[in-house]
Every structure is written in C-alpha cells, then in structure tokens.
Structure 1
Amino acid sequence: MSRWNRTHAALQQSALRLFQDQGYDATGTAQIAADAGVSEVTLFRHFPTKASLLLDDPFDPRIAAAVRDRPRSEAALTAVVEAVRATWQTLDPDTVEQLRTRLRLVASTPSLRAAARGDDTPTIDALTSALRARDVEDAEARVVATAVVAGLGAALLAWSRTEASSLDAAVGRALDAMGGR
C-alpha cells in the first residue's frame, strides 16, 4: 500500500472512530488529523471537507468499470443495476461493516444527510461516463445513473439502520425493483 493510501485510510479510520465516540458535530478536523498522526493541511489534501471523510465513495471506479464490462446488448438500466449488484457482492465482511457504520452516522446526523444528497454528483458522473463509453446517449445515461444512485442511496440508508438484513439482500431488493424484477 502506498504512503498516500495508508494516510488516506488512517484519516478515515480516525474520523470514523472519533465520530462514533464524540459525534460528528463535536469532532474537529484538527483532532482527526492529530489522531491519524498528520497535519490538518494533509487531511485537507486527502479530503476536501470534513463530511468527505465519511462520504468519500471508493466504490465508484469499481462500479463504473463493471458497467463498461457488461454485455453491450444490455439496456443501460440493466447494465448499471447488474454492475452494482456484482460489485457489492465482492465486498468483504469488514468493508460491509465499516460501510454500515459510516452510513449509520450519515443517517443519524442531519448535516451529513444533507451533504450526502449533494455528494452524489461524482457517482452519477462516473456511471454516466461508463454508460457513454457503451455508446448510450448522454441524457439517457444521466437519467439512468441518477435513478440508480437515488434508489441505491435510499436502500443503503435503510439497511444501515437495521441488523436484520445483509447488504446483499438489501441492495438486491432495491436493484431488483429498479431492474423491474
């Protein structure tokens, strides 16, 4: 793992632990940086905002690649839904539990819920670009990407609030609904 990646992960781990212990609003970026053993300037080189420590989405590149790799004969919506499904199924249990913890913090913090709604643009752009690489017209690509991101976001927040279902089951039900199953 590169130094950049180690620092990035250390910042996210410190932030997650401190946010859980003290609450999101009571935790400052200087405290997170100090806990991770770096300067606050370094923190902001990795994350443009405090919220991005939780909202940074490492799955976008993987899902976009999976969309590009889907059969060209699939409709745009099917390609995105099945790419998301395939990507989520590859997550290890530790990643799933960390995701649930991050999303619980988002769901329970009003300022983070608002930030999360505004933070969908990079994911929508990544999916739109992947669909455009499949020769899907731009307007259709953006509508499909936006619809899937909105539906997946709602399913993930609902999943984070419960222990009752697995990520695979919660995401699968949402993707089935979006895919018309």
Structure 2
Amino acid sequence: MSVKSTQAGLRERKKAKTMANIQLHALQLFRQYGYKATTVEQIAEAAEISYSTFFRYFSTKEDVLLIDNYDPLLVASFESQPAHLTPLMALRNAMLSGAKEMTPQELSTMRERNELVMSVPELRAAMINNMVSMMDLIIELTCKRTGREQEDLAVRAFAGAVIGVNISVMQYYAEHPEADFLALLEEALNKLEAGLPL
C-alpha cells in the first residue's frame, strides 16, 4: 500500500469519526428536544464545531441521520477482495469488515439513528432515496468487478437484493437494540447467498 493511499485512508477514517461525533451530539439533542425542534446551530454548538463546519459534513439536518462516511471504506475493502470471490462474497466480506471495525458507541449511534429514521415519516422516505444511491454504488462496483454493463438486469436485481437485506437488518436492529448487529448482517447475507430459502 502506498503512502498516498494510507494517508487517504486515514483522512477518510478521521472524517468518519468527525461525522460520527456530530451525529452523536445530534442524537442527544433529538432525544432532549425532539427531531423537529432541534436546530443545526444547537447541533454545531454541542459538537463544538462552527455552523459552517457542520455543512462541510452534512448538507441538511436530515442528513445527520441518513449519511455516514463509510462508503469509501466499503469501496476500498470491496476492491481489495480476492478476484476469485463472487461479487456477493466480496461485498459480504467488505460489509462485515466495516461492521467489525465499528466501536460499541458507533453501533449504538447507528441503531439509534435507524430507530429515529424509521419513526419519522419524512426521514423514512428520505432514507429510501439514500438507499437508491447506495444501490447505484453497488451496481457500479459489481460491474467493475464482473465486466458487466450497468443496464444488466441481473446486476440491478443483485444490488436491489443486497439493499433489501440491509434495510431489513437496519429495521430489525432498530426494533431489537439487544441484538448483535454483526451477527444479524452476516446471517442475512448468508441467507441471501443461499438463495433465501424459506
């Protein structure tokens, strides 16, 4: 690994940690005052950043709950998976690797974010839009790995299935805070790989 890619990886991790810190303070305020009553100014003050710095990480208050900075880490992990693995195996390994690196605090914050998103109708609708962007990313990664075209229905169905698994795991984790997120994600992805037998 080059020094340049190592530095880029460190920058991405630092950015992810700053975003997680902002989200943590935002969630505390949402608990105290409610989502709608909490302002960006309050979030910035609680996170000890400037109002303008907030917008370097999030475009809107809504994005505090919907966006994280783990996509570049997922991409890097996916692209480093051995070539003989199927796209699903490579994606599963990359996703599980990312989840394993999350601290208990980050997992707790993610669960609380999911819980709030699922309970506020406008956030839930926005989350679906966010998942469509994630699906596009999976399509792009899969096409790059397999040499297939982005219009290929099989690739799109594959990406949609992975996103569906993610949504189901996120919802379950929001409703069952005692659950082990990593175990849930691994079990759900294994079921998908097995053809989802019922």
Instruction: Give the TM interval when normalised to the shorter protein.
Output: 0.7 to 0.9
CA RMSD, Structure 1 to Structure 2 (Å) = 2.5
Name structure 1 gaps, 5 residues minimum.
none
SS at match of 1:48: coil
Does residue 160 of the first structure (1) align with residue 174 of the second (2)? yes
Contact persistence 2:23–2:109 (CA under 8 A): no
Distance in 1, Cα, partners of 2:42 & 2:172: 30
Q: Which residue of 1 aligns with 2:190?
A: 176
- Give CA deviations for 1:22-62 in whole Å, capped at 9, x if unaligned: 22122122322333344444323321121111111222222
Structure-2-length-normalised TM-score: 0.77
1:47 partner amino acid: F
Structure-1-length-normalised TM-score: 0.83
Q: Which residue of 2 aligns with 1:70?
A: 81
Does residue 149 of the first structure (1) align with residue 163 of the second (2)? yes
Distance change >3 Å, CA 14–CA 164, structure 1 → 2: closer
Q: Which residue of 2 aligns with 1:117?
A: 128
Task: Tell me by how many angstroms 1:132 deviates.
Answer: 2.7
Name structure 2 gaps, 5 residues minimum.
1-9
Equivalent residue runs for 1:97-112 within 5 Å = 97-112=108-123
Q: Which residue of 1 aligns with 2:27?
A: 16
Distance in 1, Cα, partners of 2:20 & 2:191: 34
Distance change >3 Å, CA 42–CA 82, structure 1 → 2: closer
SS at match of 1:120: helix
Answer 1 or 2: higher relative contact order, Cα 8 Å, separation at least 6: 1
Q: Which residue of 1 aligns with 2:4?
A: none
- Give CA deviations for 1:95-147 in whole Å, capped at 9, x if unaligned: 21121121111122222111111111332233233223313412344432232
SS at match of 1:25: coil
Percent same amino acid at aligned positions?
29
Q: Which residue of 1 aligns with 2:99?
A: 88
Distance in 1, Cα, partners of 2:45 & 2:101: 33
1:83 partner amino acid: A
Task: Tell me by how many angstroms 1:18 deviates.
Answer: 0.7
